[in-house]
Chain A
Amino acid sequence: MDYKHSYLISIFWPHLKRNRMALFGGIIVLALFVVSMLAPLISPYDPSAINAFKVLSPPSWQHWFGTDELGRDVLSRVLFGSRVSLKVGFVAVGIAVSIGTVVGLVSGYFSGIVDATLMRLVDIMLCFPAFFLILAIITFLEPSIWYIMMVIGLTGWMGVARLVRAETLSIREMDYILAARCIGCSNTRIIFRHILPNAISPVLVSATLGIAGAILTESALSFLGIGVQPPTPSWGNILTSGKDYIEFAWWLSLFPGLSILFTVLAYNLLGEGIRDALDPRVKR
């Protein structure tokens, strides 16, 4: 563990630090954390406070991002919306990574029939257009943020499974695994103590990129009215009213859309940065 720690400090971090784009992404990601934590404190208005005198008013000093069709402050709604995106991103990816890692480890370690079966399952899951599958499952459930996170996670683990399997296949042949087996380690111990820590780094990249994907999917679902239900603000469902009032209120579409764009961009940049930092072929 000590070795890993020193690796992180001595090679990984300096490299990431030198990559300005990744650093920029990381800063936005951190800023988003802070914003969503402090949303109730920094929002100028209550995100669900209706004001009949200020319906669809354009951006001004009182309302930086304007107001929506019910006179609610768009800036406050966008700030609160960041909580939804963050929650969905992390929980959905957490589910996807957990399933994918276990499937990949088991598949790569045991090979043979177990491997063949699991990998066919991956192939089959990849045949379904992910968005179709998500919509179909959501059809049978009451719309709620928890179901959305679960469903996005359950339909997004296949890439991680393939990655971890490939890593496991090569690690399995290492001498230290043979040594572990010789001293009588159980399969479970070998998989989780010896293989997992060494197979996990590429997962870090796909998890970071996966958060971006999950945020995009959630916003699309909410936009279509199947995701987070109003009055809870999410970037996607603010854009739904943006679409309805597109002829009169551009600010309803512009600001939540830019929020999604920058958030996703930030996670993508960070993910790419981590990938480069982990890749020994990239010159340092």
Chain B
Amino acid sequence: MTTYLIKRIFILIPLMVGITLITFSVIHLAPGEPVEMQMAMNPKVGKEARERLTKFYGLDKPLHEQYFSWVANIAKLDLGRSFSSDNRPVVDKIKERLPVTISLNVIALILEFGLAIPIGILAATRRDTWLDKGITVFVFIGFAIPTFWLALLLMYFFGVRLGWLPISGLHTLGSDSWGTVHYLWDMAKHLIMPVMVASFGSLAGLSRYMRSAMLNVISQDYITTARAKGLSERVVIWKHALRNALLPLITLLGFSIPGLIGGSVIFETIFAIPGMGQLFYQGVMSRDYPVVMGILVIGAFLTLIGNLIADLCYALADPRIRHGEG
């Protein structure tokens, strides 16, 4: 296990270098010098900001030196300062937004897995019944529905038509002065629609995956053995089959992270949630270039870490990897 861990962490290094290289090329791929472009696209940027930029990116130096100084800055967690009027360090901006996005995504993930696993098992154990077909239809609609449209529909029904749920933000204005319970209830109401939107798309994929994983396991010999021993179907499915069917789902957890982070742009923008996705969108719209670059790097690193955690969980859950040569 330890060697596996060390190996796995060692692989991260070239990947991190690659991430910075690609982000760096995105900056330099753009036509013209980034500073010139910034000037042309955002007239609000003053002369002083321009000099600071030139200095920060070291644009007077050769390309490889620029890259190394930029990476050195990232290592010191210095991502430059935002172009917006508050002119704050990008790292600070990300720091205050990140917890919102991460906690929203974690809630969405828990909901997804909590629903997808039983749905997948149901579909697999009642294969080719009406229930299975109904779930399949639901899955295909889930694949095809644009998340932002789902958000609009929910807003229309629950926000506008029925007036049950608030349609933007995380809190009602002035909720700080309410009691804790009331405050939390208010926040929960604000979170219902964003979490539904965040989890719906992947829910379809996950339950489909769970179904095929379960079908795969059920057809194996040891399940037949368990049935032949006279175990009840419930024990066979939930104790013997489930554990092996869950394994591939762990890998899927890792794969779903970039999608979740990327998807946060959409639902945070629509529901006006002050998270990293909204910050990114605002950065893109105002061409706030340090913010965009900073979040791009951070987002990729987060994905990397998420994948690492998923791989470690897999290794922990699967004795073949834990005890193997790894």
Contact = CB atoms under 8 A, between A and B. Distances in A.
A95 interface: no
A124 interface: yes
A268 B144 contact: yes
A265 interface: yes
A194 B280 CA distance: 46
A36 interface: no
A117 B199 CA distance: 35
Interface of B: 14-15, 18-19, 21-22, 26, 29-31, 37, 140-141, 143-149, 152-153, 155-156, 160, 258-259, 261-263, 265-266, 269-270, 280-281, 283-285, 287, 289, 292-293, 295-296, 299-301, 303-304, 307
A125 B26 contact: no
A224 B289 contact: no
A124 B297 CA distance: 12
Given A140-B37, A257-B152, 7 more contacts: A212-B144, A216-B146, A223-B148, A224-B265, A226-B285, A239-B152, A265-B140
B152 A135 contact: no
- Lowest 8 A-B CB distances belong to which pairs? A131-B262, A129-B262, A124-B18, A140-B30, A264-B144, A257-B149, A265-B144, A129-B258
Chief secondary structure at chain A's binding surface: helix
A133 B149 contact: no
A248 to B, nearest CB: 9
B262 A132 contact: yes
A210 B19 CA distance: 24
Nearest to B269: A224
23 contacts: A121-B18, A123-B15, A127-B18, A128-B22, A129-B262, A129-B299, A131-B263, A131-B266, A132-B296, A132-B299, A136-B284, A139-B287, A139-B289, A140-B31, A212-B144, A219-B148, A223-B146, A224-B148, A224-B281, A239-B152, A257-B153, A265-B143, A269-B140
Interface centre among A129, A219, A220, A226 (most CB of B within 10 A): A129
A246 B155 contact: yes
